[in-house]
Amino acid sequence: MENTDRIYVDAETCIRCGRCVKVCPAQIFEQEKVGAPVVLCKPENCIGCGHCVAACPTGSVHHAGFPADRVHPADYAALPTPGQVELLLAVRRSNRALSQRPVPQEMLDRIVAAADRAPTASNARQLGYTLVTDSATLPRISEFTLGVFGKIVSRLSNPLVRPWLSRLLPDVYRYIPAFRKMSREYAGGRDRILRGATAVLFIHAPKQSRFGAEDANLAYQNASLMAESLGVSQVYMGFVMIAVRQDKSGALNKLLGLDGRRICAVMALGMPQFRYPNYIDREAAPLTRI
């Protein structure tokens, strides 16, 4: 923080519990011993995470970034039970059977807000969100993706390189028929990329961000769980992400006005034709205990 007056501890109400000292990642709170006064050390190093304000039981930590109207008591009794959380995780899965009904705006707003609550490295909060609902722009996302894959398929099909590349990259060649089928179906009016989604959420970070991808993954999980709780179908756009990484022209960034940004995650959203009536137990992944 540039202005050190932005944060202070009210000595009259502080009970010297030391919680702020224990949770501050920037270590700007100090306490000589248990029960001693809490003092500030280099408050300009504050990263604005708000841990101190959230941890203080008496409201003695004052932070200009978190005025009273942004601080709320935590009602842990109102939280979902572990069983309810496990059920939400169990039923969450991609549902590509989408209806033509648009996702209500208030649901989209809650999904984006949930993503924005995710933690970020060093509380840098460099992520941005672009929500596409425009009916003219949505097909251009699919067309961009199919265009990139078309170029890849063309290069891989070159008779001069196919004999040796097919041995080096057998998994890639296995997808060529699928790519060609997707292109044919799109030309026939069936979009296998967005699957009829009425909204697409792009999560992006500055190109120079060291932890943009990691931060975006955390945000995506928040958004995905909120979407599931709202009854909104969400599908990870893996093909779009591959196309973004392969395309050197930045065409999709230009379309979305994201010059200087790196797209880190893409989620398609839509109202489902139905919800899964069952959930299944997957085979557990190997776990090593050390």
83-140: pLDDT as tens digits: 999 999 999 999 999 999 999 999 999 999 999 999 999 999 999 999 999 999 999 9
Task: Tell me the C-alpha distance between 17 and 169, whole Å.
Answer: 60
**What pLDDT score does 153 carry?**
87
Which of these CATH numbers, 3.30.70.1400, 1.10.1040.10, 3.30.70.20, 3.20.20.70, describes 4-70?
Answer: 3.30.70.20
Res. 5 pLDDT band, cuts 50 70 90? low
**Per residue in 182-203, pLDDT tens?**
999 999 999 999 999 999 999 9
Under 8 Å between Cβ of 40 and 10: no
**Residue spans of beta strands (DSSP E) within the chain:** 7-9, 29-31, 38-40, 61-63, 128-132, 199-206, 233-236, 261-270
**Per residue in 32-57, pLDDT tens?**
999 999 999 999 999 999 999 999 99
**What pLDDT score does 178 carry?**
87
**Per residue in 266-288, pLDDT tens?**
999 999 999 999 999 999 999 99
Categorise residue 7: left if φ over 0, alpha if ψ from -120 to 50, beta otherwise.
beta
**Residues comprising the chain, all counted:** 290
Number of Cβ atoms within 10 Å of the Cβ of 273 = 14
- For domain 80-275, the question of CATH label 3.40.109.10 is answered with yes
pTM value surpassing 0.85: yes
- The domain limits of the chain are 4-70, 80-275
